[in-house]
Structure 1
Amino acid sequence: MRWAAMKTVPAVQEGLMRKGEETRTRILDVAEAAVLQKGFGGTSIEELIAETGITKSGFFYHFKDKNELAKALLNRYIENDERIYDEIFSRARDLVDDPLQSFLLGLKLLSELLSDLPNGHPGCLVATVCYYERLFDREIRETNRNAVLAWRRRFRGMFEEIVAVYTPREPVQIDQLADMVSSVLEGGIVLSKTLKEPNTLAEQILMLRTFIKLLFQPAAEVSRG
């Protein structure tokens, strides 16, 4: 009997931990939607408590203040962003060995993924933190900066592989070209939300794809493609 009771303790603890993680995830989901819609300044802890149906003490058990909530939101967003890029461009590379064709396929896959969002892209937390950076401490601002630098490194690596095989038809700086990918993605989000045209982001990615093809493929190949 005593042994049976001892075995139930880990099960109870596991259940409590799972419930706690579910509550934390729920808070982050609600907070992210609110922040992308109204910004950090327009999102209050009180409304998050009301929306999630938890107590105030329950909220502060998971996040000691709004700054800590913002940190958790940003880190989660960055991790998810990196995971999506990893999956898409790894899949493209598995299908096509050529670095240019692989990158072009990756952009097409990304465009298709985003075009499947019925209401368009909800917004970018990295951009939101940039807009309201005075609300946050140095750690969050630095995390945000590092996220953008990670985008640059990711796409720079892809372009370095491309230029090792293809000569660009016009001289370009690889870092600037890498930043252009991020600029199109972020700008496409702004355009689609402002114009209320959900497909704009996906269309801009396809336009970027056309530009990259024109930049690196010889004229004869472009005309055939």
Structure 2
Amino acid sequence: MTVTDAAHPSRIRLLDATLKVVRSKGYAATRIEDVCAEAGVTKGSFFHHFKSKDDLALSAAAYWDAHVRSFFAAAPYHDAATPLDRLLAYVDFRKALLSGDMADYTCFSGTVIQEAWRTQPALRDACAAAVSDHARTLQADIAVAMRRHGIAGGWTAESLALHMQGVIQGAFILAKARGSAAAAAQSLDHLRRYLELLFGGRAGAS
């Protein structure tokens, strides 16, 4: 695939459509025809860019990872004054995203992992990498907050960052199970309280 092909408008439309359809219907239920219809392209165009549904999914996982990196890098929670402030503001930001259609705020990677964890290991690993990559963006603030608050124990900045992602992914599952973002919002409220208790302080603490 050439650089021109990678940035071709129809290819981008197919990737955007894949993110939307998979988050709406699940990976197993998503058909090439569904993606083409959402993207407004022909199957001929699809097969010009991708060999199969699995090939599309792997490309979509990388596309999603890049989107997540860019989106969260520009998010306002980075402007908070202290590491703990930034962690709490991150949770608040994730809660603020819980609006609109469920397919607009749930996670492509988490949705795919739940379905493909055993049957498609390459796709599972690509999506798991995206989740882990995002968790790593929180580790530096966690590590500094641990030092400033004198916290030492049998856990690490990495394990807490991954736990936070586990809560968020679980919140999405609850939203799907109950058909409402309210359950997810409550989970994020609990996560925020947990962080406050863990570090022994509220926003504004060192």
TM-score by length of 2: 0.80
- Worse-superposed segment, 102-111 or 73-82: 102-111
- Could you tell me which residue of structure 2 aligns to residue 119 of structure 1? 101
- Worse-superposed segment, 99-108 or 63-72: 99-108
1:136 is aligned, of 120, 133, 144, to 120
Alpha-carbon separation, structure 2, partners of 1:122 and 1:152? 17
Higher relative contact order (CA 8 A, sep 6+): 2
Alpha-carbon separation, structure 1, partners of 2:130 and 2:35? 26
| Aligned residue runs from structure 1 range 171-186, under 5 A | 171-174=153-156, 175-186=158-169
1:163-202: per-residue Cα shift (whole Å, max 9, x none)?
121124x845023322210011100101111111223323
Q: 1:155 to 1:59 in 2, by over 3 A?
A: same
- Could you tell me which residue of structure 2 aligns to residue 49 of structure 1? 36
Does 2:77 correspond to 1:92? yes
Alpha-carbon separation, structure 2, partners of 1:118 and 1:52? 20
| Aligned residue runs from structure 1 range 1-225, under 5 A | 21-88=8-75, 91-96=76-81, 98-112=82-96, 114-115=97-98, 117-120=99-102, 121-130=104-113, 131-136=115-120, 138=122, 140-168=123-151, 171-174=153-156, 175-217=158-200
Alpha-carbon separation, structure 2, partners of 1:172 and 1:108? 27
Alpha-carbon separation, structure 2, partners of 1:92 and 1:46? 39
Alpha-carbon separation, structure 1, partners of 2:79 and 2:161? 22
Shift of 1:55: 2.7
Letter in 2 for 1:151: H
Q: Is the 8 A contact 2:80 2:86 kept in 1?
A: yes
Number of residue pairs the alignment of both structures matches: 196
Q: 1:119 to 1:45 in 2, by over 3 A?
A: closer
Q: Report which of the two structures shows the higher radius of gyration computed on alpha carbons.
A: 1
Alpha-carbon separation, structure 2, partners of 1:163 and 1:134? 36
Shift of 1:50: 4.0
Letter in 1 for 2:116: Y
Q: Is the 8 A contact 1:31 1:48 kept in 2?
A: yes
Alpha-carbon separation, structure 2, partners of 1:185 and 1:30? 23
Shift of 1:60: 0.8
TM-score by length of 1: 0.74
Structure with greater helix percent = 1
* RMSD across aligned positions (CA): 2.7
Q: Is the 8 A contact 2:61 2:130 kept in 1?
A: no
Q: Is the 8 A contact 2:86 2:141 kept in 1?
A: no
Shift of 1:211: 1.1
Q: Is the 8 A contact 1:155 1:181 kept in 2?
A: no
Alpha-carbon separation, structure 2, partners of 1:142 and 1:46? 25
Shift of 1:122: 4.5
Percent identical among aligned pairs is 24
Q: 1:172 to 1:41 in 2, by over 3 A?
A: same
The gaps in structure 2 that reach 5 residues or longer are none
